[in-house]
């Protein structure tokens, strides 16, 4: 059954209070609500109620084998939903003190309070605390953990504004809380905590170099079973086919005049393309990450035959950007 979706602004104190009240009321009633986070917009529901979480899967058309991240209202909830092995205690404490609230998700052994639907039957749970003030206020007032994957239909480009959520889920949910553009623009880093070591399951705003200050980094081998959200090879995809191409070979793709370009920091011959989006004119990886999904979405809506994307330097946030671009290219090639 379709809903009339309301997009609630938070641009004034009065509007924020109204949006927060609406969101908490709907969450309490077991309904999913789209909320801003510092990474991308999330579709949140009560993580401890299986029927509420099922509504997330329904709205997103998400397969039940893909687990969800549990967002905690405060750090005290960590040991209520997850078990921290003694040999991992120092590492977990160090990571949460440094990166929470923030864009780091930890995968730890789960406790029975977490429904199977949240973890897709796995014996682990993915947990984090959002740093977005609106999400934080709603989570604290709600008082319980929220399951919150990205607020888009499954496999599509992640939303970084409330307008993106409306274009994806209008009529499928009752409320979108507009907290402005997402600051990071790519999803959280996910790490499995294994003793005194870390295994990076998904690249994100917290880099491997930052994590290495706290523990040994184990290599993640493809072919492992699905262990956390965002690991599917086919993900983050526009409807338009997307192809990764080295800068020197890009101009040849534009010969037919119906190709869009997602450029890294500039383009020598923009007139050869039907449309051009530049991730960062100043070659700033933070800016590129923050604008990646919104610029992919604009090219996807430009009625071009093909999107050609240039690689970005694969260091720091560039690792996360290239991860998303490779998966988008893989998805549209299938």
Question: What percentage of residues in the chain have a pLDDT greater than 70?
Answer: 90
Per residue in 113-143, pLDDT tens? 999 999 999 999 999 999 999 999 999 999 9
CB 131 within 8 A of CB 102: yes
Per residue in 284-302, pLDDT tens? 999 999 999 999 999 999 9
Helix axes 317-333, 285-300, angle to 10 degrees: 20
Pull the structure tokens for residue 220: 């993640």
| Alpha helices for the chain (secondary structure H) | 13-28, 50-60, 78-81, 89-99, 116-119, 133-142, 162-169, 208-211, 250-253, 285-300, 317-333
Q: Where are the domains of the chain?
A: 6-218, 242-333
Q: pTM for the complete prediction?
A: 0.89
pLDDT at 231: 64
Residue 2 pLDDT greater than 80, yes or no: no
Residues 6 or more apart in contact with residue 21 via CB below 8 angstroms? none
Residues 6 or more apart in contact with residue 115 via CB below 8 angstroms? 47, 48, 49, 50, 53
| Alpha helices for 221-301 (secondary structure H) | 250-253, 285-300
Residue 39 pLDDT greater than 60, yes or no: yes
3-state secondary structure of 151: coil
Phi, psi (deg, nearest 5) at residue 260: -100, 150
- CATH code at 6-218: 3.90.870.10
Distance CA 265, CA 115 (A): 45
CB 185 within 8 A of CB 290: yes
Distance CA 311, CA 170 (A): 33
Pull the structure tokens for residue 249: 């070979």
Fold for 242-333, please state it: Rossmann fold (3.40.50)
Q: 50 falls in which pLDDT band (50, 70, 90)?
A: very high
Phi, psi (deg, nearest 5) at residue 333: -85, -15
Per residue in 148-181, pLDDT tens? 999 999 989 999 999 999 999 999 999 999 999 9
- Computed on alpha carbons and rounded to an integer, the radius of gyration of the chain in Å comes to 20
Distance CA 235, CA 216 (A): 28
């Amino acid at each position: 059954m379709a809903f009339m979706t309301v997009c609630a602004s938070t641009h004034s104190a009065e509007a924020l209070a109204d949006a927060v009240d609406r969101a908490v009321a709907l969450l309490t009633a077991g309904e999913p609500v789209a909320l801003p986070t510092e990474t991308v917009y999330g579709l949140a529901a009560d993580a401890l109620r299986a029927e509420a979480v099922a509504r997330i899967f329904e709205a997103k058309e998400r397969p039940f084998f893909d687990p969800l991240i549990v967002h905690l209202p405060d750090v005290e909830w960590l040991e209520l939903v997850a078990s921290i092995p003694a040999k991992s205690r120092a590492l977990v404490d160090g990571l949460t003190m440094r990166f929470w609230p923030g864009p780091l998700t930890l995968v730890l052994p789960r406790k029975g309070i977490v429904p199977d639907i949240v973890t897709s039957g796995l014996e682990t749970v993915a947990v984090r605390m959002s740093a977005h003030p609106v999400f934080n206020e709603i989570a604290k007032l709600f008082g319980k953990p929220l399951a919150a994957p990205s607020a888009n239909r499954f496999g599509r480009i992640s939303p970084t504004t409330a307008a993106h959520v409306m274009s994806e889920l209008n009529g499928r949910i009752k409320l979108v809380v507009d907290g402005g553009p997402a600051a990071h623009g790519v999803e959280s880093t996910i790490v499995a905590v294994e003793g005194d070591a870390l295994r990076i399951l998904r690249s994100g705003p917290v880099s491997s170099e930052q994590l290495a200050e706290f523990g040994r980094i184990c290599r993640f081998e493809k072919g492992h079973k699905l262990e956390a959200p965002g690991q599917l090879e086919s993900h983050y995809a526009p409807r338009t086919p997307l192809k990764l191409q080295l800068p020197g070979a890009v101009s040849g793709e534009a010969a037919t005049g119906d190709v869009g370009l997602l450029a890294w920091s500039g383009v020598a011959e923009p007139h050869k393309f039907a449309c051009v989006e530049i991730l960062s004119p100043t070659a700033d990886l933070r800016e590129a990450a923050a604008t990646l999904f919104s610029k992919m979405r604009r090219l996807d809506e430009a009625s071009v035959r093909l999107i050609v994307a240039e690689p970005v330097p694969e260091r720091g946030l560039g690792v996360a950007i290239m991860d998303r671009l490779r998966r988008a290219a893989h998805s549209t090639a299938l």
